[in-house]
Amino acid sequence: MKYIVFTLCILLVSQICYGTEGNDCYTPIYVLIENPWDDYTRTDQTCGRGNFADNTCLGYYDGGEDIFFEIEIAMLGTYAFKLDPHGASWTGMALGADCPPSGSQPDDCIAISTSSDYDPHSFIVTLEPGTYYLMIDTWPAPDCLSEFTLDIYEGFHDDWGTCHWPISIDLPSQAPYWDSAGTTCGYWDDYDNSCLENWDGGDDLIYALWVERPGNVNIRLQPKGTGYTALALDDSCPPDNNCLASSTSISAEPHGIEMDLEEGVYYLIVDTWPLPECIPEYDLSVAFAVQRICGDVNDDFEVNVSDAVYLVNYIFVGGDPPVISRSGDVNCDTYTNISDAVLIINFIFIGGYTPCDMDGDNIPDC
C-alpha cells in the first residue's frame, strides 16, 4: 500500500502528500541552528498539508492548513524569526517547547507573531540550547499559504539590554563582574510595571545572571552623582510585581542587593524614578561566593574518598589547596591537616562525624 501512496505522490507533483515532511508533529522539518549567526531560510507552502492542529496558542490563527518545524538550538543566543507571507494576509506563527505548541492563549507560547495584513512579521526570542517547535498557520481566510519564506537569524542589536537580548553575566565563572562607565541613557523605558513601582519610569537596562551553582550574590550600583536610582532582581523578565529583591536610593550614594541564589537564570533591571530620565554613568559590580560544602575539598559537589586523597596530597606532597576556602577544615579546629582527612575517611566508611558537624545536631559548627 505504501508504494501506491508513494506513486500517487510522484504523479501529483503539485501537491504535498499527508505524512510528508512538515505536515504534522510526527514528521516535522528538522532545522539545526548551531549559533545565532547561522542564518536559516526556507521557502515553502502550507497548501495541501492539511489542518493537523487547530487548538493551540495561536488562537484563531490556527484554523488553516499548517506546517511544522523541529528546531534544534545548539547555542544560547537571541534569534529573530521572520515570516514573509508573499502577499497573503491573516497569517501566524508560534514557537513552543512541544508540538503542536500547547495552550490556548498567546502567553502559553514561548513566542508568537500574527498579522492581518500582507507584510512580513516577526518575533525575537532568547533561547537556551534545546529543541523547539515552530508552527506556521492562517486564520483560516485564506485557508492556506501558497508560498511563504521563513528566515531565522541573529536578533536585532537594537534589543541589546532588553529581555530579548539581556547583557549576560555567567556566575561564578565571570565573578567578580565589573561594568564600569555603564549608562541607561540612549535606551528606552521598556519596562515600567514592576515591583519598583514609581522607580521604574526611566530608561532601563536588563542584565541576565546565569547562575551555574548555588551561591551568594552581592550586586552594587554606584550611580556616580545621580539620585533616584533603582535595582530589582527577579527570576522572570521583565521583573514582575513580586521581585526577589530590590534596592532604591534617593541620594547618589552606592546601594545594592545581596542574597542567596540557587542554580537558574535571574534578571537584573537598572532604572530610575524617572527624574532623572536616565543614569548618565554608573558602575555595576557583581560579586559571587559559591556555597561551601564542608569536606568537598576538590569541588566535585560531593564528599568522598577522593577528598581525603586530595587533602593528603596537599599536606604531604605540595598538591593544590582546597578549591573552596575552608572546605578542608572539617573538624572545625581552624586548620587543614591530616586529622581532617582522617575524619572524612571515618565519615565515609564507619559512619563517623559529619564534616563540620562535630556535635551531631545537623547544624554546621564551622
The pLDDT value recorded for residue 102 is: 86
Common-topology check for domains 21-155 and 167-290: yes
**What CATH number is given for 167-290 in this structure?**
2.60.120.380
- The DSSP annotation for 7-31 comes to HHHHH-TTS--TTSTTSSTTSPEEE
Q: Closest by alpha carbon to 223, among 259, 182, 178?
A: 182
Q: Are 279 and 240 in contact (CB under 8 A)?
A: no
pLDDT digit string, tens, across residues 155-177: 754 567 888 778 999 999 899 99
The pLDDT value recorded for residue 14 is: 34
Domain 21-155 has CATH 2.130.10.30: no
Hey, is 71 helix, strand or coil?
strand
Tell me, yes or no, if the pTM score tops 0.85.
no
Alpha helices in the chain (DSSP H): 2-11, 305-316, 338-349
pLDDT at 293 over 70: yes
Task: Report percent pLDDT > 90 for the chain.
Answer: 64
Place of cell 559548627: 365
**Residue 53: how many other CB atoms lie within 10 Å:** 20
pLDDT at 19 over 60: no
pLDDT digit string, tens, across residues 132-150: 999 999 999 899 999 999 9
The pLDDT value recorded for residue 47 is: 96
Q: Give the lowest-confidence range in 14-28, 237-251, 299-313.
A: 14-28
- The mean pLDDT value for 118-126 works out to 85
**Given CA atoms 128, 238, 78, 119 in this order, what sign does their dihedral have?**
positive
Give Cα 49 distance to the centre of its chain: 34
Q: What is the residue extent of each domain of the chain?
A: 21-155, 167-290, 292-366
pLDDT at 352 over 80: yes
**Residue 72: how many other CB atoms lie within 10 Å:** 13
pLDDT digit string, tens, across residues 263-291: 999 999 999 998 899 999 999 999 999 88
- How far apart, in Å, are the Cα atoms of 325 and each of 80, 118, 293, 308? 44, 62, 10, 16
Q: Could you tell me which CATH class the domain 292-366 is placed in?
A: mainly alpha
Band (pLDDT 50/70/90 cuts) for residue 4 is very low
The pLDDT value recorded for residue 126 is: 86
pLDDT at 322 over 50: yes
Strands 282-290 and 215-222: antiparallel
Q: Closest by alpha carbon to 77, among 157, 136, 18?
A: 157
The pLDDT value recorded for residue 337 is: 93
pLDDT at 9 over 80: no
Place of cell 530608561: 203
pLDDT at 16 over 70: no
The pLDDT value recorded for residue 145 is: 96
Q: Closest by alpha carbon to 64, among 102, 42, 91?
A: 91
pLDDT digit string, tens, across residues 21-76: 999 999 999 999 998 888 899 999 999 999 999 989 998 999 999 999 999 999 98
